[in-house]
Structure 1
C-alpha cells in the first residue's frame, strides 16, 4: 500500500476516534446536538408543539396520510395527564402549531375548537397512562407498515437499521376493527410493554418515545425496515438464497449505538431542519 494511502487511513481512524470523544483532532470541542434545556415548562410546551407540527408535515411528505386516519400525540409538560393531537379532518401537510388540540385524560377538548380522532384517544390515552416515560406516540397507516402487519410477525434482525428494534418491539396479533374502545387501547398498551414499537395485526404501526422527535423517527425507520423486510422475503422466496441473520451479540451491541432515546431524537433533527427550510417555518404559526 502506498504511504499516502496509509496516512489517509490512519488519519481517518484518528479522526473517527476523536469524533467519538466529542472533540476534533486538535482538541476543539465539537457541536453535538442534544435535547434542549428550558427555563420554563411554557417554553418546553411550545417546543413540543412545534416538533409535533413538524412531525405531521414530515409524515405527509412520506405519504403516511390516509383520510382522517393516523395521529401523533405528545404529552403536555404543564399538564402531564393531557396531550396534544391533530384536529380530526385537517390534512397532515396543513397542520401548524395553532391547529393542535389539547385533550384531557377523558378525551375532552381543553384547548381547540375541533374534534379529535376517537381511535387516537382510545389508543394513545391508554399508552400514555401505562407508560409515564412515554411523552409521544405515532400511529399511521403507512403502506409498508400495514403490508407487513398482515403477517402478524416480528421483524427479522437482518439489517443494521432493524437493530433499532432489537428486542424492543411487539406484535399485537389480533384485529378488532376500528379501535374505539378504551379496553382495546389498554390491551395494545399491555402488549407494547416497555418497547418502542408495536406492529398492529392487519392495521399498521405504532411507535412511542420520550420525545415526539424520537417517536417520529422510530416510525420513519420502522416503516422503511418493514419495506426492506418485504423486499428480502420476496427475493428469498423460491430463489434458493438464505437470509443471513445478525448474531445476537452484534445485535445487542449495535442496539446501544442506534436504538437509544437520544439517537432517536437526533435521528429526527435532519427531517425537522428539512421541513423547516421547505416550508419557511409555516408550521410554527
Structure 2
C-alpha cells in the first residue's frame, strides 16, 4: 500500500465490529484502520499521524516554549520511537524534521536534538510497557492548573466518564522537573492498565496501546475535562456525578483506544485539507 493512500477516506469493510459506533450497514464510507504490506508503509503512516497530532496540539494552543513531547513506537524496531524535535513549535513539526531515538535518548535518525524531559518520561514508559504504542504530554493551561489539586477527574459528564477508573494521579516528585532517569521510572510505574495520568504540579500525560491518534485525542479530551471540572468547581455548587455503574458503561463505549482513534479522524481529515505542508 502506498503511504499516500493513508490520507484518503476509507470504506468500512466486513471485519468484525469492535464498537457500537461502527455501522451495521455495509458499504458506507467510514474510517477503517488500514492494513500494511510492509514496515515502511506502517512507519510512514505512524510518522504522518504523529505530525498531525503535533499540529492538532498547535491548534488547541498547547505550546509552551520547548515543552511538550509526543512519541510513537517504530513498528519494525520496537526499541525505537519517533518524536517531535526539540525547540520546534508544534505548528512547524513535519515528517522531515521528526527524530527517531532509542530508550537511552540517543537520536538514531534525524538532525534535531531530543527533549531531555521527553526522553526521561516517554522512554521509560515505552521501555517498561512494551504494549504502549504512543504517549503524549504538554504543559497545558487547564491540565497544569488541575494537576496542582492532586486529585482525579470526576465523572461529572459522559465525556469525563471516559476516564473513570482509567487514570491515576502521580504524586512522586510532584513539581520537580523530570530530567533524571529515576523520575521516568516512577511515571512509568503508574501506567499499568490505564490510559492517562495527572502528574501533580506538572500536568497531563496520556498513553495508548493502539495508536498515536488515540493518545493525542485522549490528551485533548482530558485537558477539556480538567477545564470543565475547574469551571464547575468555581461555581461553588456540588455537581451531580454520573453513578459508578453508568460511568463504567460510558467508559466501555466511549473511552476505549479505538474510540480515541475514531475521534481523531475528523481532526486528521481537517489537517490534511488545510495543512499539506505536514508531509514535507
- Do they fold alike, i.e. is TM over 0.5? yes
Distance 2:94 2:140 in 1: 21
Distance 1:248 1:98 in 2: 46
CA offset at residue 198 of structure 1?
A: 0.3
CA contact (8 A) 1:34 1:262 kept: no
1:185-243: CA deviation from partner (whole Å, max 9, x where unpaired): 010111222210000111110001120000000000000000000001111x2xxx431
Higher Cα Rg: structure 1 or 2? 1
Report the secondary structure of 1:221's partner residue.
helix
CA offset at residue 129 of structure 1?
A: 1.3
CA contact (8 A) 1:23 1:30 kept: no
Structure 2: state its 5+ residue gaps.
Answer: 1-19
Instruction: Flag as ranges the 4+ runs of structure 1 deviating above 6 A.
Output: none
The equivalent of 1:217 in structure 2 is 217
Q: How many residues align?
A: 259
Task: Label 1:57 to 1:110 Cα distance change in 2 as closer, same or farther (>3 A).
Answer: same
The equivalent of 1:228 in structure 2 is 228
Matched, 1:245 2:241: yes
Distance 1:283 1:275 in 2: 8
Distance 1:216 1:261 in 2: 11
State TM-score, norm by structure 1.
0.88
CA offset at residue 250 of structure 1?
A: 0.8
Distance 1:140 1:21 in 2: 31
CA offset at residue 284 of structure 1?
A: 1.0
The equivalent of 2:11 in structure 1 is none
Distance 1:55 1:109 in 2: 21
RMSD, matched Cα = 1.4
CA contact (8 A) 1:137 1:207 kept: yes
Distance 1:242 1:229 in 2: 11
Q: Which has the higher helix share?
A: 1
